[in-house]
């Protein structure tokens, strides 16, 4: 199956989409990669979902990516004697380490690291910002705060700290157990939540040992401030607009989205735009006009993937949501302004052989109007560098490693095929041309570009480019 768009669709699985038949419908509607949210899935359910996705993959004959999203540190207040309390702006409210029910004057905060880190003047946002407090005094054991906005606080509501750097890492004990489980299950991508600093990626990287790629979710101001360092140490980024919109002014989020997307594109790292893209389709069969524009904006920016959360996981119209996102993306990429915008946002290549070959492949492909760029890649690096160029010409990636093909399911413009590595130059050209023909990317008489690394099978050694034509039998010629 060949998609008629370059941006990828990442669909979250959940109660509305956990059966194998529904997963197949979502793939047929346009989903390229599936997200398993470990905030809601236990290990047994996760393994079941992975097995069902792999069954669909086998049935459709296309590599499908799986992303496991770790919960990260969830910071919450304790419980209240009456379940909730009413507060007034200007009132004094204390958060402390006393494990007893809260009232109108105080609440239990079971996170000593917060009590130690928050300083006077720092904001505390409760329940996604519905209640806003500002710390006026602290002794390391209790925070005396003033109510700035909001009137209610209730049991176990979440706490956000936009001004505070916490000493704790991004992996909790639950995350460590989940990380081991998802790696054993064979997922392709691991998303790390509430990243604050590049060091937060180190522990997961050490545990993963290359068995899965790491995606850093950018959802805190601290991560935005250290974006360049986080990009360098991650394999991909996600613009997690939900929590970004809580911890930062809502009006700042669109600009931050562009900043993250363009920085990731310059680095050649995949970037996913997520949260509330078609939110109304949780309960309606059609989106709002504003949501359509939101999805279109992410596609125009050249994001590698756009994500559905509750729309596909728990909504009433999961298939319709994927199909709608697919149609929007296809229409945007047919728009005459799309290639101009994508081209204008293109970054300068790095001074490496792989980037030079990828740049040349794009320029030759577009100048000669060739049918496709065909990349041999074992690690996926060649495919990533080709996608970084955002060519108008389709990209077909050939890999002998199925895990590489699955990871590329999240990468812009790539159509991955699992095939054994080439034996020599003639086999390389013939195999590439035959697959381009069989996958409906080229017809007899068309010309294609083939890139590879010599010697074959050497990761990251892209150093060769050939122009070939498709013969009448689907084989290649020079």
For residue 420, CA distances in Å to 1, 32, 331, 383 come to 20, 23, 35, 16
Question: What are the tens digits of pLDDT across the range 383-435?
Answer: 999 999 999 999 999 999 999 999 999 999 999 999 998 888 899 999 999 99
281 with 365, same domain: the answer is: no
Query: Where a domain ends, among 294, 309, 343?
Result: 343
What's the confidence (pLDDT) of residue 349? 86
- Residue 478 predicted with pLDDT over 60: no
Query: Where a domain ends, among 129, 160, 191?
Result: 160
Question: What are the tens digits of pLDDT across the range 326-343?
Answer: 999 999 999 999 999 999
287 with 434, same domain: the answer is: no
Are the C-beta atoms of residues 33 and 67 closer than 8 Å to each other? Answer: yes
Question: What are the tens digits of pLDDT across the range 346-378?
Answer: 888 888 888 999 999 999 999 999 999 999 999
Are the C-beta atoms of residues 366 and 395 closer than 8 Å to each other? Answer: no
- Residue 475 predicted with pLDDT over 80: no
Domain count along the chain: 3
Mean pLDDT of the chain: 95
Instruction: Tell whether 79 is covered by a domain.
Output: no
Bridge partners of 216, per DSSP, are 192, 237
Give residue 260's pLDDT band: very low, low, confident or very high (50, 70, 90). very high
Give residue 167's pLDDT band: very low, low, confident or very high (50, 70, 90). confident
181 with 146, same domain: the answer is: no
Q: Assign residue 51 the CATH number of its domain.
A: 3.20.20.60
- Residue 123 predicted with pLDDT over 90: yes
181 with 290, same domain: the answer is: yes
Contacts of 87 (CB under 8 A, 6+ apart): 93, 104, 131, 147, 150, 151, 152, 153
Instruction: Tell whether 210 is covered by a domain.
Output: yes
363 — phi, psi (to 5°)?
Answer: -65, -45
Question: What are the tens digits of pLDDT across the range 246-255?
Answer: 999 999 999 9
437 with 362, same domain: the answer is: yes
404 with 361, same domain: the answer is: yes
Q: Assign residue 397 the CATH number of its domain.
A: 3.40.1380.20
Domain extent for 219 = 8-72+170-343
174 with 257, same domain: the answer is: yes
What's the confidence (pLDDT) of residue 390? 97
Please identify every residue annotated as catalytic: 35, 76, 217, 275
Question: What are the tens digits of pLDDT across the range 225-253?
Answer: 999 999 999 999 999 999 999 999 999 99
Query: Where a domain ends, among 343, 364, 384?
Result: 343
Bridge partners of 299, per DSSP, are none
Instruction: Tell whether 403 is covered by a domain.
Output: yes
């Amino acid at each position: 199956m060949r998609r008629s768009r370059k941006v990828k669709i990442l669909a979250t699985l959940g109660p509305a989409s956990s059966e194998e038949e529904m997963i197949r419908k979502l793939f047929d509607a346009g989903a390229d990669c599936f997200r398993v949210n470990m905030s809601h899935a236990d290990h047994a359910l996760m393994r079941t979902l992975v097995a069902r996705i792999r069954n669909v993959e086998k049935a459709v004959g296309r590599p499908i990516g799986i992303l496991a999203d770790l919960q990260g540190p969830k910071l919450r207040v304790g419980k209240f004697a009456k379940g909730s309390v009413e507060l007034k702006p200007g009132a004094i409210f204390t958060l402390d380490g006393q494990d007893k029910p809260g009232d109108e004057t105080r609440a239990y905060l079971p996170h000593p690291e917060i009590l130690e880190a928050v300083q006077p003047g720092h904001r505390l946002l409760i329940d996604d910002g519905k209640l806003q407090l500002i710390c006026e005094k602290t002794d390391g054991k209790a925070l005396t705060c003033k109510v700035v906005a909001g009137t209610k606080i209730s049991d176990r509501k979440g706490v956000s700290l936009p001004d505070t750097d916490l000493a704790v890492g991004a992996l909790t004990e639950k995350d460590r157990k989940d990380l081991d489980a998802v790696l054993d299950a064979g997922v392709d991508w691991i998303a790390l939540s509430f990243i604050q600093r590049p060091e937060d990626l180190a522990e997961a990287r050490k545990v993963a040992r290359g068995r899965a790629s790491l995606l850093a979710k950018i959802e805190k101001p601290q991560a935005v401030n250290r974006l360049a360092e986080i990009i360098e140490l991650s394999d991909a980024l996600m613009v997690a607009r939900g929590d970004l919109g809580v911890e930062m002014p809502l009006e700042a989020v669109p600009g931050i989205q562009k900043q993250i997307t363009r920085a990731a594109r310059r680095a050649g790292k995949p970037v996913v735009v997520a949260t509330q893209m078609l939110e109304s389709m949780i309960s309606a069969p059609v989106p709002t006009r504003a949501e359509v524009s939101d999805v279109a904006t992410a596609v125009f920016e050249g994001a590698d993937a756009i994500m559905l959360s509750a729309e596909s996981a728990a909504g009433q119209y999961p298939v319709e949501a994927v199909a709608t996102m697919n149609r929007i993306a296809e229409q945007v990429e047919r728009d005459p302004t799309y290639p101009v915008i994508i081209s204008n946002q293109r970054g300068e290549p790095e001074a490496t052989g792989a980037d030079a070959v990828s740049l040349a492949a794009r320029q030759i492909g577009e100048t000669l109007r060739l049918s496709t760029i065909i990349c041999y890649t074992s690690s996926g690096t060649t495919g990533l560098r080709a996608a970084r160029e955002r060519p108008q010409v389709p990209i077909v990636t050939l890999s002998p490693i199925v895990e590489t093909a699955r990871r590329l399911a999240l990468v812009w413009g790539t159509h991955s095929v699992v095939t054994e590595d080439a034996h020599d130059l003639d086999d390389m050209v013939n195999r590439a041309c035959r697959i381009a023909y069989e996958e409906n990317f080229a017809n007899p008489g068309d010309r294609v570009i083939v890139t590879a690394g010599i010697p074959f099978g050497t990761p990251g050694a892209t150093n060769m480019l050939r122009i070939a034509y498709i013969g009448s039998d689907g084989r290649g010629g020079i």
